Amino acid sequence: MRDKFYFDELYLFVTKEVIFRFIGAPAAWIDRKVVNGLVDLTGNTALKVSDAVKGLQSGRVQQYALFFLGGLIVLVLLMTYLF
Amino acid sequence: MEALLLSMKTEWMVTAILLTVLLLRLGKGVAPSTLLSLVQLLLLVATALSVTGSGSGPLFGGMYQAGPLAGFQKSILLFAAWMVTLLFADWHRGSEQLPEYLILMLSSLLGMCFMVSAGNLLMLYLSLELATIPMAAAANLDLGRKRSSEGAMKLILSSAFSSGVLLFGISLVYGTTGSLDFAGITAAIDGGGLQTLAFVFLFAAFAFKMSAVPFHLWTADVYQGSPMPVTAYLSVTSKGATAFVVVNLLHGMFASMSDAWYRLLMVVVLATLVIGNLFALRQQDIKRFLAFSSIAQVGFILMGMTGNRPLGVSAITYFVLVYVFSNLAAFGVAALVSARTGAEDIPSYRGLAKSNPFLAWMMALALFSLAGIPPTAGFFAKMFLIVEGSWQGDYWFVVAAAINIAVSLYYYMRIVRLMFSDAERPMEAIVPAPSERLGLLVCAAGIVLAGVLSWMYDHISTLN
Amino acid sequence: MNLTILLAIPVLTLLAVLLLPGARQARWAALAGAAVQLAASLVLLLRFRAARADGGKGFLFQMQHDWYPDWNIGFHLGVDGISVAMILLTTLVVVAGVLVSWEEARMPKTFFAMLTLLGLGAYGFFVSLDLFAMFFFLELAVVPKYLLIALWGSGRKEYSANKLAIMLMGASVAILMGIIALMFSAPDGQWTFDMLRIVEWDVPADTQVTIFGLIFIGFGVFTALFPFHTWVPDGHSSAPTAGSMFLAGISMKLGGYGCLRAAVWLLPEGALAYGDAIVGLSVIAILYGAFVTLMQTDLKYINAYSSVSHCGFVLLGIGMLTKAAVAGAVLQMVSHGLMTALFFAVIGMVYVRTHTRQVAEMGGLMKPMPFIAVLMFLAGLSSLGLPGLSGFVAEMSVFVGGWERDTAFHRSATVLAAMSIVVTAVYVLRAIGATMMGPLRDQAHAALTDAAWYEKAAALVLTAGILAMGLAPGWLNDLVGPDAAAIVTRLGTSTP
């Protein structure tokens, strides 16, 4: 009874060494890095793409007309061949 | 004769106001503030008279089609014009070319009214040009600023381009159906190859006016360059009037081709929503930001057309009305901030709520409504369009479109957050003129009440 | 009882808060409004019990108005026992939240307006019988949540606010699609969003399964369904105290209630098809949430992750599809709402005084602030399910209901979920022990004061709820039981 059958030590070993290290820590890591990482990735990608495309609009009217024409041709092709 | 007077009363009234301004300009001339007050008053009276209803039936051998819903749509346009004169009173009074500006704006308004009631493709083309060309001149009215001329130049060049496409489309329609009259064309449309081509050309020209992707590129530059009232006016009326025309063409003239244009619309809706949102996400300039946000809004308008039901027309009319309230309130605040402090970039809105709680709340309400958050009317308007978009049962398409609401929340709320955050050097206190305050309050009342209380929609619904 | 009163009181409160000139008047208005609403909900409880004793069944006090008939949208109000329980929970949390924020110094008028608006969204959500109106009220609460975090929060508040708003808005899109698809699946074009009419339809099973997925996952995000729970820890820890209390105590309950009402009740075939998946995901959430909580060092993160675990019990109860388990899910919503609101309130009180939420920087706080320490014990013990407090009643009911399903899968799920209580005990006792017990860690903490009157009042309101539920669970069970049973009965004979 002097050492309470090492009950405290056993408890500490199970919690600190087994549960905390092998279950708690990986679970916390997965939660932050994987589950939350995916959420952040989606958001950050949208922002990055937005930053990247912002410069694509040149301000030149010729380019606008070209896009207009390109869009027109694409829509005509879609209408005639696909729909 | 009576029908001629009654059915076209909105157009007559706009013409009368236009002539009044012209005569005053040609005569001795009046003080700008008197002229502005007069036009404000006349536009209010015209809006009030126009909203009481109009006759219906064809005029001029079918060139002009009057109807109760078209009458109401025109009163929305008139109301928007009235709000612009109220909200930007300061700019108007300070402008050296006030009479010229008013004449340009009123001519364009007249063009839009005719556009909504056009019953013939030639009439449609003429009124479209009447609606557009004055705006290009008006965009150039900030004579001292290079950006203003640049915007005007871009608008006129791209408009010319789209007019060419439209005329080509019209000639194809005429070639294949032998008619320019809406009724005649509707009867003769059979969905053949050339008619498909004609349809795409017509659609593209109007998509350009509404700034749907990929015909939207002019929007941001023109919005940014033009004087604020011109931008605000252009963003709501031009878009609204074109939306009314397009939905009439799709559900009327081209109804027999609905299988084909439904899928075309799906592509354009998704492209418009995604591109509009993507570009809006990181914009720092308030006018460019509102330009891209307005592009994204067009995606929803087009989505409401996919259902091919009369209900969709009610939903679109209601959406445009709500959009007038919301977008004009946003532009109104932006104009006040820009005029008094010169700031047109979003980061300088930080701390606006501290120094200008009224303006910050108005802007917040407008942004909530644009984002479609309850209890604002924008929520209801957007929901109706989404329900209408689901009518055909392609839920994946609607989900893909509606996800954009979640994305847009990011950039709308960002501005709200900035306005209510602490700032080291908050903006100076801005005192709006009485008419500007009145305009903002009318918009706010519309935003808050037009959704929760259903009578405004009910009115549109009974006209349809 | 006229249910519009429950909406009129918060609307009037909101107007008063916004229109009264000063900050002091605004907070008194907010408190008065919340208190009147509490009184009204107690009257509702009494009237409801009386009406039911007179033989009333199902949804009582119904009233119906047209709203947008073109779009099949009506304004149909009515409450059953489950909604009454949720309304009671909401009123308690709102009163406590307003009290806790008494000394809010930053834009107090706007702050109290946001709290009131969030409350209004919840009340409207719980009394609506029209899916669209429910959705309207659900969305009404989005902006207040965002702004509470973004403007009054701490830490990475902008990031957390954005994540919360965008994830919840994305979830709303799924819900919206689900309810629109459900509306359009009406027989013979009898479209409506009215739940009492939808429930009579005979929707094909495969349609039900598809729509159930959309609606359940959508509402699931609100109630921290794994793996869509990541807004929970960041959102709660960045929010101001009242914001966390409202998020965990009210907002997450909108999700659980929505899952039950709009998904399981309306779409029984979907519930049967998805039941096992829900059980699986919720057991993951329970255990995973508990283990992740173990590793947290910030008191708010501890409580936020433990909310993921606790809300897992709500979903587990729903997924088990037995009468006792579904009733347990509702009890767990009420219990968790009260207990977690109390916990967040206590964390807020500690933070205001010590300016830290790190467990390692506290210790022995029992001495300077005994009242707060007792509150923390109470919240903690309820959290780990001590008999006599609310948590025990709720979790027991879920386990008993779960055990009724006699397949190996359901039995092992029940056992695994029950085992999480051990982990809960570890993190709760560790957190309380490390912060409250032992010698004072930081000598500067010796001079700290105990709870102020408004903090005590807030805590007492919540404690009263926890004790009322824990010591006399019968009345709540009677309130919720018949309606939970009605939901399960609709599932037919294929389940016990």
Residue C130, pLDDT above cutoff 60: yes
Residue A54, pLDDT above cutoff 90: no
Query: Residue ranges per domain, chain C?
Result: 4-489
Please state the rounded mean pLDDT for residues C428-439: 88
Angle between helices B68-87 and B455-463 (to 10 degrees): 140
Residue A13, pLDDT above cutoff 50: yes
Q: Which residue of B has its CA nearest to A54?
A: B279
Contact between residue B366 and residue B354 where contact means Cβ atoms under 8 Å apart: no
Indicate the pLDDT class of residue A20, thresholds 50, 70 and 90.
Answer: confident
Please state the rounded mean pLDDT for residues B391-395: 89
Tokens of C324: 């006792």
Tokens of C261: 């009402």
Contacts of A54 in chain B (CB under 8 A): 279, 282-283
Q: How far apart are CA B165 and CA A76, in angstroms?
A: 13
Residue B318: is it exposed, middle or buried by C-beta count within 10 angstroms (0-12/13-18/19+)? buried
Cα B388–chain centre separation: 20
Please state the rounded mean pLDDT for residues A19-25: 81
Minimum mean pLDDT range among B182-186, C290-294, C382-386: C382-386
> Which letter, b or e, does each residue of B19-43 get, where b requires 16 or more Cβ atoms within 10 Å of its Cβ?
ebbeebbeeeebebeebbbbbbebb
- Give the three-class secondary structure for C155: coil
Residue C496, pLDDT above cutoff 80: no
Contacts of B391 in chain C (CB under 8 A): 184
Q: C24 or A21, which is more confident?
A: C24
Contact between residue C287 and residue C412 where contact means Cβ atoms under 8 Å apart: no
Check CB contact of C417 with chain A, cutoff 8 Å: no
**Given this model, what pLDDT does residue C15 score?**
95
Check CB contact of C162 with chain B, cutoff 8 Å: yes
**Model pTM?**
0.94
Check CB contact under 8 Å for C291 and A23: yes
Check CB contact of B282 with chain A, cutoff 8 Å: yes
**Given this model, what pLDDT does residue C494 score?**
45
**Given this model, what pLDDT does residue C21 score?**
87
Please state the rounded mean pLDDT for residues A16-20: 75
Contacts of A19 in chain C (CB under 8 A): 291, 294, 423, 426
Q: How far apart are CA C78 and CA C250, in angstroms?
A: 19
Check CB contact of B258 with chain A, cutoff 8 Å: no
Nearest to C173 among B375, B384, B399 (CB): B399
pLDDT per position as a tens digit, B360-372: 999 999 999 999 9
Q: How far apart are CA C144 and CA B417, in angstroms?
A: 11
Residues sharing a CB contact under 8 Å with residue B431, sequence separation 6 or more, in sequence order: none
Best probe of the B interface among A50, A53, A60, A62, by most B CBs < 10 A, is A50
Window 221-240 of C: residues touching A by CB (8 A cutoff) are 227, 229-231, 234
**Given this model, what pLDDT does residue C155 score?**
86
**Domain range spanning residue A41?**
4-82
Contacts of C162 in chain A (CB under 8 A): 43
CA distances from B400 to B391, B397, C173 (A): 15, 5, 9
Check CB contact under 8 Å for A54 and B279: yes
Amino acid at C399: F
Q: Tally Cβ neighbours within 10 Å of residue B440.
A: 26
ipTM of the complex model: 0.94
Give the A-side interface with C, CB within 8 Å: 15, 19-20, 23-25, 27-28, 31, 35-36, 39-40, 43
Contacts of B387 in chain C (CB under 8 A): 71, 180, 183
Please state the rounded mean pLDDT for residues C202-208: 91
Check CB contact under 8 Å for B217 and A50: no
Nearest to A46 among B208, B221, B281 (CB): B281
Please state the rounded mean pLDDT for residues A27-55: 85
**Given this model, what pLDDT does residue A3 score?**
59
Residue C156: is it exposed, middle or buried by C-beta count within 10 angstroms (0-12/13-18/19+)? middle
Residue B423: is it exposed, middle or buried by C-beta count within 10 angstroms (0-12/13-18/19+)? middle
> Which letter, b or e, does each residue of B112-123 get, where b requires 16 or more Cβ atoms within 10 Å of its Cβ?
bbbbbbbbbbeb
Phi then psi for C76, rounded to 5 degrees? -120, 115
Please state the rounded mean pLDDT for residues A40-59: 84
pLDDT per position as a tens digit, C457-480: 999 999 999 999 988 888 899 999
Residues sharing a CB contact under 8 Å with residue B442, sequence separation 6 or more, in sequence order: B83, B86, B325
**Given this model, what pLDDT does residue A4 score?**
63
How high is the mean pLDDT of chain C?
Answer: 92
Indicate the pLDDT class of residue A37, thresholds 50, 70 and 90.
Answer: confident
Q: How far apart are CA B141 and CA B120, in angstroms?
A: 33
User: Looking up tokens 């002019």, which residue turns up?
Assistant: B218
Contact between residue B433 and residue B427 where contact means Cβ atoms under 8 Å apart: no
Check CB contact under 8 Å for B157 and A63: no
Cα B250–chain centre separation: 19
Please state the rounded mean pLDDT for residues B447-460: 93
Angle between helices B146-177 and A61-77 (to 10 degrees): 30
In chain A, how many domains are there? 1
pLDDT per position as a tens digit, B36-46: 999 999 999 99
What percentage of chain B has pLDDT greater than the value 70?
A: 100
pLDDT per position as a tens digit, B275-289: 999 999 888 999 999
Min Cα separation C180/chain B (Å): 7
Check CB contact of C71 with chain B, cutoff 8 Å: yes
pLDDT per position as a tens digit, B405-438: 998 999 999 999 999 998 888 788 999 999 999 9
Tokens of B349: 């809105």
Q: A71 or A17, which is more confident?
A: A71
Min Cα separation B320/chain A (Å): 25
Min Cα separation A56/chain B (Å): 10
Bridge partners, residue B120, by sequence: B181
Check CB contact under 8 Å for C146 and B413: yes
Please state the rounded mean pLDDT for residues C358-381: 90
Residues sharing a CB contact under 8 Å with residue B370, sequence separation 6 or more, in sequence order: B293, B297, B323, B326, B327, B330, B378, B408, B412
Check CB contact under 8 Å for C151 and B420: yes
Q: How far apart are CA B337 and CA B440, in angstroms?
A: 14
Bridge partners, residue C128, by sequence: C77
Q: How far apart are CA C309 and CA C291, in angstroms?
A: 9
Q: A58 or B52, which is more confident?
A: B52
Check CB contact of B384 with chain C, cutoff 8 Å: yes
Element holding B330 (H helix, E strand) = helix B310-341
User: Which of C246, C245, C249, C252 has the alpha carbon at shortest distance from C221?
Assistant: C252
Check CB contact under 8 Å for B282 and A59: no
